[in-house]
Structure 1
Amino acid sequence: MRLRKIKNADEILQNSSIVIKNAEMNFGKWHSYFQNQNPIYLEIGMGKGKFIIEHARRNPHINFMGFEKEPTVICKALRKIDDSINNLKIICDDAENLDKIFSEGEIERIFLNFSDPWPKNRHEKRRLTYDTKLDIYKKILNNNNKIELKTDNRHFFEYSLMQFNKNKFTFSNLSLNLHEDYDDIITTEYEDKFKEMGKQIYYVEVSYGKNETL
């Protein structure tokens, strides 16, 4: 189903205090921006925001950032954020620009939820677990880092496992049926639909030992 665009989406984003404009101006200064030293968790491709909003609500001691390139989708997320949440900000940009916005070691955790699998071989470079993307994650993650990936696409999951292994990430958790293995899972909108359909959700946690490469 095609996304019905909101005509004044750009104006809504421009007027929102939750959406960060000119995010690259805060390069290397994100803790100053949040006015605290709390860890920063980043969801790349946050969609309509259910996952990251609930995380922010449950974890006020963590700074959350949602990264999403579609203005209309961000508008839908903004409708769900109430005044009680003050530890969540959103950036409207493409993942290709992450290392222009975040400097080395600014991010503690990255969430990759139901990323576009780009199944055709000629589109491999667009996948969020392609080599160049993983190199960016290595750079912006700190020493206590973790990446969490969820997907319903078995091929993309297996591809990502191979990519993480090739790029020397350490595996700490893996599930071939997340909702059978765990309770109290914070879900995305897509995930809720897939769960109702009885689809398996694949999950993996990895980290990158930055000090080991020095």
Structure 2
Amino acid sequence: MRLRNKPWAQELIAAHPELITIAANSTPSTWQECFPSKQPLELEIGSGKGQFIMEKARQNPQHNFLALELQTAALAMILKKQVVAQLPNLQLLQANAQNLTELFAPQSVTKLYLNFSDPWPKTRHEKRRLVAPNFLKLYQQLLVPQGQLEFKTDNRGLFEYALCSLNNFPLHLEQVSLDLHASELAAENIPTEYEDKFSQKGQPIYFLQASFPEI
């Protein structure tokens, strides 16, 4: 979902180069240089307004977190919160997920999160789905051996597609839930803004955790 333009967004982003990287301008040789401590790096692709990734960083100071978002308005909303929170283990990146291998060294990410990604329901747009085989190939290069991928959505069709796509790649499905909030996994779940919205309407949240087999 595209957010409305924020007139203050560009100015805020320009004022905080220590917290955000614009992929079109520069990319550090290693993301670990952006953090005070070298720790396992976890990446969320499509961070929206940042509720999930910021809470992940708060709860897990022993890990570094990177929020990748393409939309300037959404990224600025995360940045606005981060300017106040100053979480040392959180950095922001404005980039297109199609360019992942240009932005990350091989086997540099421990865990990858895909939360409420655009379903791109039309068949001709299949390659744009973040769980399509072309994206899985990118993730396989980024993740450490046996690195994990977590996926959440309210879209049943996209979830069924994800299960088939991951199984055929193949990935090892470690956990699958057709109603995350009613499962034993709910206790440790950190919701996104969209997740709160959908679950309040009574819609089930679909979840899976998977890992790539060692080559």
When normalised by structure 2's length, the TM-score is: 0.92
Shift of 1:11: 2.5
Residue identity in the other structure for 1:7? P
Counterpart of 1:11 in structure 2 is 11
Comparing 191-200 and 17-26, the one that deviates more? 17-26
Which SS does the other structure have where 1:25 is aligned? coil
1: CA distance, partners of 2:74 / 2:34: 24
Counterpart of 1:64 in structure 2 is 65
Shift of 1:149: 0.2
- Does the 8 Å CA contact 1:14/1:21 hold for their aligned counterparts? no
1: CA distance, partners of 2:69 / 2:33: 22
Shift of 1:31: 2.4
- Does the 8 Å CA contact 2:68/2:94 hold for their aligned counterparts? yes
Counterpart of 1:119 in structure 2 is 121
Select 1:129's aligned residue among 131, 137, 162.
131
1:83-102 aligned within 5 A: 83-102=85-104
Select 1:188's aligned residue among 173, 188, 192.
192
- Does the 8 Å CA contact 2:36/2:89 hold for their aligned counterparts? no
- Does the 8 Å CA contact 2:176/2:207 hold for their aligned counterparts? yes
Which SS does the other structure have where 1:109 is aligned? strand
Residue identity in the other structure for 1:68? E
Shift of 1:83: 3.8
Relative distance call for 1:24 and 1:163 in structure 2 (3 A) is farther
Counterpart of 1:39 in structure 2 is 40
2: CA distance, partners of 1:114 / 1:2: 13
Shift of 1:38: 0.8
Residue identity in the other structure for 2:95? D
- Does the 8 Å CA contact 1:175/1:204 hold for their aligned counterparts? yes
2: CA distance, partners of 1:120 / 1:73: 25
When normalised by structure 1's length, the TM-score is: 0.92
2: CA distance, partners of 1:52 / 1:9: 19
Select 1:104's aligned residue among 106, 125, 130.
106
Relative distance call for 1:24 and 1:135 in structure 2 (3 A) is farther
Shift of 1:198: 0.4
Counterpart of 1:208 in structure 2 is 212
2: CA distance, partners of 1:19 / 1:59: 20
After superposition, give the CA deviation of every residue in 1:175-214 in whole Å (9 maximum; x if it has no partner): 000000022421000000011100000000000023xx2x
Which SS does the other structure have where 1:172 is aligned? strand
Which SS does the other structure have where 2:112 is aligned? strand
Shift of 1:35: 4.7
Residue identity in the other structure for 2:37? N
Comparing 76-85 and 119-128, the one that deviates more? 76-85
2: CA distance, partners of 1:138 / 1:38: 20
Relative distance call for 1:176 and 1:207 in structure 2 (3 A) is same
1: CA distance, partners of 2:2 / 2:28: 34
Comparing 9-18 and 165-174, the one that deviates more? 9-18
Residue identity in the other structure for 1:62? H
Q: Aligned-pair RMSD on alpha carbons?
A: 1.6
- Does the 8 Å CA contact 1:24/1:100 hold for their aligned counterparts? no
